[in-house]
Amino acid sequence: MHSVIVVSQLSVSSSSRKMSCDKLVNLSIFDLEELESVLRRYGDRFEIWYRTVQNYLNWLRVDPDIVDLQIISLNGNWRNDGTFVIIDCSYIYLHNFKENNDSLERILHLLSWKRSYFICMFPERLKQPILNTFRELQIEIALFTDDVIYYLPANAAECLELDIPEGYRLGSLERKHVKQINAEWEFSSGTESERFIDRLIMSECNVTIGLFNESNHQLVGWCLQSPSGELSLLSVDRQHRRKGFGSLLVTAFAKQIAAAGLGSYACVLLSNHPSRKVFSSLGFYEKENVHWILSKPKQNMSH
């Protein structure tokens, strides 16, 4: 059964009477299973969104009561308008596979913006609707990024050579590594991003790769699989850079993902030329441009 999130009537000027009657409705696990099936039929076109839904569905099967997670639609109409939104802690994933921006904009009007949110990896076609809504709601932007998705098919990943230097080993990350990873993450938000990283590491559904010095067991490099399925938080300890460890971690990740029959992808800042060079050298190709937005908390809101 759907659950309804109660919201107050909008204080902003509503463009239609129906907007004031809108409600945000949680998707059940059965809705997610149906949604996963629908997105699968679109194939490569919506692979990122399919992998995102698949990830959260896997998580919810293990723990149906994940804290700070909401997966919502407008009035429960995701089948008709193709729009759903995932809110995970301070991270928002906007999905609209029927290209109907009206429902998406109305959802954004209903959300509380009293805190800061990262709207993650949304496609170019959603840029203007999101910016327009922020302008209407007078939400200030702390950060806006231009990124590109790099993609490598599974069959190409299987052909990559994995050459681990003597004195090092690859292994999975553990909870004790959370603080080190969070400290090096450029988008760290303190304890909240620590909780986010901890969940990625402790989930049995998500790939984590660590590169360790065998002599002292020190973690010298890492990458994780984000809730959207992409390679994320790729980093190498400053003292161990320029040794090809970044390429090694990407290769290990891609081969492990390929073992499940899946392609690998990563979201890279257009301005991050060293990372783009790494992915290109391994055979990844540019798939599409996307963006991230970090909102500033909005004060004196009525909802």
pLDDT tens sequence across 24-38: 999 999 999 999 999
pLDDT class of 301 with cuts at 50, 70, 90: low
Buried b (16+ CB within 10 A) or exposed e, 19-53: beebebbbbeeebbeebbebbeeeeeebbbbbbbb
The CATH homologous superfamily to which domain 154-262 belongs is Gcn5-related N-acetyltransferase (GNAT) (3.40.630.30)
Cα–Cα distance, 133 to 293 (Å, whole number): 13
Q: Residue ranges of the alpha helices (H) in 42-175? A: 47-62, 78-81, 101-110, 127-137, 154-158
Chain segment 72-105, per-residue pLDDT in tens: 999 999 999 999 999 998 899 999 888 778 999 9
The pLDDT, as a whole number, for residue 72 is: 96
Structure tokens, 247: 């390429």
Q: Which CATH class is domain 3-146+291-295?
A: alpha beta
pLDDT at 182 over 50: yes
Where in the chain are all domains bearing CATH 3.40.630.30? 3-146+291-295, 154-262
pLDDT on residue 36:
94
Mean pLDDT of 237-255: 93
Q: How far is the C-alpha of 101 from the C-alpha of 107, rounded, in Å?
A: 10
| Confidence (pLDDT) at 8 | 32
295, 139 contact by CB (below 8 A):
yes
Q: Which residue, chain included where needed, has tokens 């840029």?
A: 127
N residues, the chain = 303
d(CA 201, CA 176): 10
Could you tell me if 158 and 258 are in contact, meaning their C-beta atoms sit under 8 angstroms apart? yes
pTM value > 0.85: yes
Backbone torsions φ then ψ of 4, nearest 5 degrees: -105, 130
Distance CA 225, CA 260 (A): 14
Are β-strands 24-26 and 231-236 bridged in parallel, bridged antiparallel, or unpaired?
Answer: unpaired
Alpha-carbon gap, residue 107 to 119, rounded angstroms = 13
pLDDT at res. 67:
84
DSSP 14: P
